[in-house]
A and B are shown apart, each in its own frame.
Chain A
């Protein structure tokens, strides 16, 4: 079993980067062969990535049996970098163009081996504020990405709310929760 772990955060010493370290460690320990793809470290271009880069990433995704995306939730949704990666790698050949309806075949083929998709994300504000704001990221994963995955593919949502007011203990507790939940999945 191999797992593609996509990390999207611009600051290497951020909590989100620490979360990624925990995810990789847990998956490694569970024998899930994690492969880390750090979009910022790679210098991925969210608007105009090179065709060869897109092809390489698509190959990694096609070979993966699980996908973990790690990102900070900004304005209730995915950061532009991760959205750009999904647009270009996952939806590339399925994107509707003027006068041409959407086809999902290419995206489905790319995601065909996935047993689960897990989103690990941090929210600056509380769960209540995010509920009012509409949780666009969660809805995107649940209603746009997940339906393209195979029927038995599970979707898991691991969210850390209120990170702007979190203590060190809260953060440690979240890392422990990730460890437990991913072990159960892997």
Chain B
């Protein structure tokens, strides 16, 4: 399966342990992997003025940092997002990737103001998140990241797209051992069996 892996976790935290685990699991299966690392190069998180002006123009992704994303997103069969949840629920950098990449002509098409799916080749959506908060706190705040990546995005991918959420909650060291093992097992299961 052609996988587009979007890395939004900070590589300096935990020595990049999360992304290494994800990459190792994907490598053990026979997937064709393309990686977009949002912490690498000069990716600008916020939608820019030029980007917004080009939004409805039919020729989007006019800036150098996003120009290559269009074909990479369109040719993917699986989209995998990797991040550590922040207070708002997902890192602004990742929200910026979503805002700036899934624009008309790439993520969807607008005809007479109606939304039409743009990524019908995408059959798998996976969000992999580490939360510092407990699961009940995350549920109470309605998990913004999961809502956007797995629910809102549903309207632009293939109708039969399978969605998976792999999350680790409450990372305090004394609580984490068993939960970490379950998280690692699910990560393997989901990524190998895409």
Interface string of A135-163 (1 = CB under 8 A from B): 01001100110000000000000000010
Assess whether A78 is interfacial by the CB under 8 Å rule: yes
- Say whether B172 contacts A99, CB under 8 Å: yes
Q: Which of A80, A95, A132 contacts B46 (CB 8 A)?
A: A80
Complex interface: chain B residues within 8 A of A46 (CB): 45-46, 92-93, 96
Nearest CB in chain B: distance from A97 CB, A: 7
Closest CB in chain B relative to A159 CB, distance in Å:
16
CB contact between B99 and one of A80, A94, A125, A143 (< 8 Å): that residue: A80
> Which A residues from 66 to 101 make CB contacts under 8 A with B?
74-81, 83-84, 86-87, 90-91, 94-101
B52's partner among A10, A140, A162 (CB-CB below 8 A) is A10
Using Cβ atoms and an 8 Å threshold, which residues of chain B touch A84? 45-46, 92
A79 and B99 within 8 A (CB): yes
B69 close to A (CB within 8 Å): no
| Contact between A143 and B171, CB atoms less than 8 A apart | no
Query: How far apart sit A47 and B172, CA to CA, in the bound complex (Å)?
Result: 25
Complex: how many Å from CA A165 to CA B112? Answer: 8
A-B CB contacts (within 8 Å), total count: 138
Residue B173, interface by CB 8 Å: yes
Pick from A77, A78, A83 the residue with the most CB of B within 10 Å: A83
CB within 8 Å of B: which A28-58 residues: 40, 46-47
Residues of B within 8 A of A162 (CB): 113
B178 within 8 A of A: no
Q: Do A76 and B45 have beta carbons less than 8 Å apart?
A: no
The interface bits of chain B over 130-153 (1 if a CB of A lies within 8 angstroms of the residue's CB, else 0) are: 001100010011101001100111
Asked if B155 lies at the interface with its beta carbon under 8 angstroms from chain A, I say yes
Residues of chain B with a CB closer than 8 A to A81's CB:
45-47, 92, 96
In chain B, positions 35-65 with a C-beta closer than 8 Å to chain A are: 45-49, 51-53
Task: Spot the interface stretch: B19-27, B71-79, B81-89, B157-165.
Answer: B81-89
A80 to B51, CA, bound (A): 14
Question: Is A11 part of the contact surface with B, judged by Cβ < 8 Å?
Answer: yes
- With a cutoff of 8 Å between Cβ atoms, the chain B residues found around residue A10 in the complex are 46-49, 51-52
Chain A residue contacts of B132, Cβ below 8 A: 96-98, 100-102
In the bound complex, residues from chain B placing their C-beta under 8 Å from that of A164 are: 110, 113
Contact B102 A79 (CB under 8 A): no
Q: Can you list 22 A-B pairs with a CB-CB distance of less than 8 A? A: A11-B53, A40-B46, A46-B93, A47-B45, A76-B148, A77-B147, A77-B148, A86-B88, A87-B86, A98-B132, A99-B172, A101-B132, A125-B113, A133-B151, A133-B155, A136-B89, A136-B152, A140-B88, A144-B87, A162-B113, A165-B112, A165-B113
